[in-house]
Amino acid sequence: MPDKTTLQYTPEHEWVQVDGDVATVGITAYAAEKLGDVVFVDLPAAGSNIASGKVVGEIESTKSVGELFAPVDGEIVEANQAVVDSPELVNSDPFGEGWLIKVRFASLPELLSFDEYSALVGE
């Protein structure tokens, strides 16, 4: 599990971990808690091009349907099949096994720091 204080965040409650030119993206524990028990995850296929700020997936829970927004422009290099097969991983391990997509990007937009995200959600 990555150190939450070293991750970057979006106002849409996603975390981003950068490794070279690949960003691993998931939703935060705050978002997972607000969604409730996740029962279905729809992710883009590897090879898909995505645009920052656009909806690229869906996360359904027993309470609601949430959208996954692309935090960067780029190409999907991997979608987490384990989450598609076992959506509850989003709740049980949002910062670890519950990651959602990996994206190869050319440039990284300005994202929120841990402290900025914590202030946004009041934690």
Name the nearest CA neighbour of 90 among 21, 23, 18, 15. 15
For the chain, which residues make up each domain, given as ranges? 7-107
Query: Along the 123 residues of the chain, how does pLDDT read in single tens digits?
Result: 678 888 999 999 999 999 999 999 999 999 999 999 999 999 999 999 999 999 999 999 998 999 999 999 999 999 999 999 999 999 999 999 999 999 999 888 999 999 999 999 997
| Beta-bridge partner residues of 27 | 14
pTM, whole model, 2 decimals?
A: 0.94
89-121: string of b/e by CB count within 10 Å (b at 16+)?
bbbebbbeebbbbbbebeebeebbebeebeeee
Identify the pLDDT of residue 1: 64
Identify the pLDDT of residue 123: 78
| Beta-bridge partner residues of 79 | 101
Q: What is the CATH number of domain 7-107?
A: 2.40.50.100
| Beta-bridge partner residues of 105 | 74
Identify the pLDDT of residue 5: 86
Identify the pLDDT of residue 18: 94
